[in-house]
Every structure is written in C-alpha cells, then in structure tokens.
Amino acid sequence: MKTIHLGNTPLEVSRIAYGCMGLGGSWERAESLNEQAKRDAVKAIRTALDEGINFFDHADIYRWGKSEEAFAAIWAEAPQLREKIVVQSKCGIVMQGARPESTVGQFDFSYEHITRSVEGSLKRLQTDYLDVLLLHRPDPLVEPEEVARAFDDLHSSGKVRYFGVSNHTAGQLRLLKKHLNQPLVANQLELSLLHLHLFDEGVVFNQEAMHGEGTLEYCRQHHITIQAWAPFKKGAVITGVTEPPSLAARDVACLITELAQAKGVNKEAIALAWLLKHPAQIQPIIGTTKPERIKAACEADQVELTRDEWYRLFIAGRGERMP
C-alpha cells in the first residue's frame, strides 16, 4: 500500500488507516473482554496488516476500554510488531457514569484527565508509548495552557511521540497552537460522500450558506493530516439506504456501483478512492471487523479516479449541481 507522512513528521503511514472501535466485543461496561473477542481482534488486525495497513486508531472510550485491551492480544502472536506499526489513541470524552461526578456525558481537556487517560491507554494496550495522541472532541471549557502542559509532560516522559486533535475547526486549532510547544500533526474529521461539508464550504462560501471557516485549507497550510472517520457513513454510501430516505444517498450508491463495475473493483474502493484523490492526502479510517470488507476497502489503493469521475460523485453527494 502507498504511504504518506503523517503531518510534518517522519512517520511513514499507510494512506488507509484501521479504526479499532469495532474491536473488543460489547459496549456494555459490565461485560469483560472475552477470548472470542480477542481472537476476532487478532484476525481483523492480521488482515489489515496483510493489506499493508500499518496505522491503527484507538480511543480510550471505545467499548469502555475493551477495544484497546483486545488489540493488545496481537503482541502475544507478534511481539516484534510494536516497532513496525503506528498506534494512535484519543482522549477527552468522559462517558456518563465514568466518574462519580460525571452525571452526563461531557468533554474534559484538563491536565489531569489527559495524563490519566494516556496512562490508562498505555496499560490496556500493553505498550510503553503512543505514537500519536489526539484530543477527541472540542471541550468548551478548554484551557490551552493545561493542554500544553500535559502534552509537554507526556512528550518529555516518552509516553507520547506526536499530538493532534479530532473534530476541531480552524479557529480551535489556532487557539491551541498559540499555546502549544508540540506541533499538531492530525485532525480527525467526519468526511464522506454523504458528509462533505469540509469540501463544500469552500464551494458555497459567499452563496446563501456562509461558512468560510477554512478548516481544510488551514490543515493543508499547516501540514496537519486530515483523517476521515466514517468514510462509508455507516454503509449508506454503499447501500444508498438512509433514514429518512435521501435522494443524494441513492444517487451516490448508484454511481459508485456503476464506477466499481467499470473498474472491476469493490464498491468500498470507489468510496475511498474519492477521498484519496484529494490533494490534501486525506487518510480514511476504516472500521469494519470483517476481513472481506477490509480487503475490499484496501482495493482503493489501486484505484485512480479521473477529475470528471470525482466531480460526478461530489455532485451526487451534494444533491445539486455546482453553483
């Protein structure tokens, strides 16, 4: 698989990443990790590795930590693997009931929460360091000086090599960067043919929808890799099925089917090839645990869409012609 550099770092990563939220079995907090979930995790990880993926994305909250625990089962079979792959995790979301005082779900970018979350991830992943740590969703109560202190301590102790964010706007990135000593190397954002605001805001600016935040352009300017989560929009990009029904979703799915047949690849490959075509070097994150679907998605590495094909898909996803 072709590779890219993550942000402005020497990390050479597969341009398709594997998202580990599906590993670990149940989302029920009371259910512990079982052996079958570990076996399923190892099978999915091995398939991803065989397809050339070397980048694995986690979060401390996935399956209440069981996703990270399940991933660690790979070390028993391949103890030499740790230095050959890139492990990323995220922190900042506090689930309802996770702490005695968290009566509702919330976000927390305090020094204590960030550092405590990393310690928990390292323990569950059975590793001494994270290659990358992302702040998960923007905390309205963020104090950038605390984030900077947490990042500095985690970096100087060798527990985290690089840092980034998830779901942050250009303005939120600017605020953090003003205080940080560590560069931000990634911004993980929802992006797909049915969630294309990041692309569309540059098209509709000064039309009736006034956006102009410029997050895509800011990330490109500052060498911040955009990681696309939910690139299949829970399968709707492939099936065309949404609730409520969407004409755009049906049009996207029909066009993907047409292009997949013409190019002799799976439909998942077309959906990801659309993201990979963009000059920002977007890194899609796939999350399926089914080996056959992992392989289908990775076919995107061999697909090159024309400019006309890219725009046909873009217009189908927009649900209207270009302005």
Give the bridge partners for 93, in sequence order: 107
- Count CB atoms within 10 A of the CB of residue 76: 10
Cα–Cα distance, 168 to 65 (Å, whole number)? 23
Please report the pLDDT score of residue 197 as a whole number: 84
Give the chain's count of helices (H) and strands (E). 13, 12
Q: What is the pLDDT along the chain (323 residues), one digit of tens a residue?
A: 999 999 999 999 999 999 999 999 999 999 999 999 999 999 999 999 999 999 999 999 999 999 999 999 999 999 899 999 999 999 999 999 999 889 999 999 999 999 999 999 999 999 999 999 999 999 999 999 999 999 999 999 999 999 999 999 999 999 999 999 999 999 999 999 999 988 887 666 545 444 557 899 999 999 999 999 999 999 999 999 999 999 999 999 999 999 999 999 999 999 999 999 999 999 999 999 999 999 999 999 999 999 999 999 999 999 999 99
Q: Where are the beta strands (DSSP E) in 92-170?
A: 93-94, 106-107, 130-135, 160-166
Confirm if 232 and 268 have CB atoms less than 8 A apart.
yes
Cα–Cα distance, 59 to 125 (Å, whole number)? 11
Cα–Cα distance, 317 to 287 (Å, whole number)? 21
- Count CB atoms within 10 A of the CB of residue 295: 16
Q: For 7-39, how does the pLDDT look when each residue is reduced to its tens digit (9 = 90+)?
A: 999 999 999 999 999 999 999 999 999 999 999
Confirm if 225 and 216 have CB atoms less than 8 A apart.
no
**297 CB-near residues (< 8 Å, 6+ apart):** 16, 266, 268, 269, 272, 284, 286, 288
Rounded to two decimals, the pTM is 0.96
Please report the pLDDT score of residue 209 as a whole number: 47
Please report the pLDDT score of residue 199 as a whole number: 84
Which residues belong to the active site?
Answer: 62
Ordered by where they begin, the domains of the chain are: 3-190 (3.20.20.100)
